[in-house]
Amino acid sequence: MICGGFSSTAFADLPEPVQKAFQEHSKEFGQVQIVEIKQQVVAGINYKFIIQAGDKKGVMTLWAKLDRTVQCTSIDWE
């Protein structure tokens, strides 16, 4: 993992709270396919999910804070 830079990761390697937060925030979009996941070390870890939902492609960013909580900071669709 590179401090400040993004590196690729796999869903299975994510901490359970991050997996649960992704599932919770993505369920409103129906069938969502993860195209890629990147992580960035900050004050905690940012996880950037490149996602596909039907014909829409977007990016969901989750922030795993140092207190072990997870916050969705953005969902942007192209």
What's the CA gap between 74 and 72, in Å, rounded?
6
**pLDDT by residue (tens digit) across 7-64?**
999 999 999 999 999 999 999 998 999 999 999 998 899 999 999 999 999 999 999 9
pLDDT digits over 3-20, tens only?
A: 678 999 999 999 999 999
Confirm if 61 and 72 have CB atoms less than 8 A apart.
Answer: yes
